[in-house]
């Protein structure tokens, strides 16, 4: 076997290096492309998962909304079967929206308040002997004040307060603000009998005889309805 010449050995060594370098560049390029593609794929998968989560959340929210609105409409039907389906749905939807807007209210508490305030009629045009109007029995002076905060143009008490949507918007705003100050029972007492009496009642540790007789009966009656509606799967 012939010995390799010095020149051949000299030429062969760089050739090996070149081959190794070329192979290395190819592998590195392939690896980079692979991981780059994998990273892009991973990002797409993350984006798809987020989209699916958003869809699931939207479906869950929509299902909850549908359930709550059906429940409210079923409660209305217990007291007033003469409302048109459209009006009934609009009322239910407004109550549901209020429960989202005010974290200290839920549909059961709003419904319990309306049931008692409207004397079990759910009649949007009901007027009390004292002059309170509508589903949540709002006095005209209070309504004119609340209308400003709701962006409602005050025309006259009959037109505005017998509108069930406006009435619920104003009534839930007022009830929520009172509950934020006095708690549920104190807020209900203030809603029915005024803040001064409710404040004195709470300071006396809810002693008997502080509230007006009507309010003293009103608070447990609404709480009883509230518990009843919470327990119902209508």
Residues noted as catalytic? 117
Residue 107 and residue 95: Cα distance in Å, rounded? Answer: 6
Residue 138 and residue 35: Cα distance in Å, rounded? Answer: 67
């Amino acid at each position: 076997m012939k010995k390799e010449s010095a020149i051949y050995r000299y030429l062969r060594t760089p050739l090996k290096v070149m081959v190794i370098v070329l192979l290395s560049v190819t592998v590195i390029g392939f690896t980079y492309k692979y991981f780059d593609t994998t990273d892009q794929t991973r990002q797409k998968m993350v984006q798809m998962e987020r989209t699916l989560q958003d869809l699931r959340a939207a479906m869950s929210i929509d299902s909850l909304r549908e359930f709550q609105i059906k429940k409210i409409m079923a409660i209305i039907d217990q007291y007033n079967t003469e409302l048109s389906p459209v009006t009934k749905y609009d009322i239910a939807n407004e109550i549901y929206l209020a429960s989202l807007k005010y974290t200290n209210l839920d549909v059961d508490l709003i419904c319990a308040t309306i049931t008692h305030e409207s004397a079990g009629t759910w009649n949007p045009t009901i007027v009390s002997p004292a002059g309170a109007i509508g589903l949540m029995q709002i006095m005209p002076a209070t309504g004119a004040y609340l209308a400003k905060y709701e962006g409602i143009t005050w025309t006259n008490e009959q037109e505005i307060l017998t509108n069930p949507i406006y009435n619920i918007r104003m009534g839930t705003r007022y009830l929520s603000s009172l509950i934020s100050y006095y708690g549920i029972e104190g807020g209900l007492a203030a809603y029915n009998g005024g803040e001064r009496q409710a404040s004195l009642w709470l300071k006396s540790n809810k002693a008997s005889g502080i509230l007006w007789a009507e309010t003293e009966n009103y608070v447990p009656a609404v709480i009883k309805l509230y518990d009843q509606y919470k327990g119902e799967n209508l």
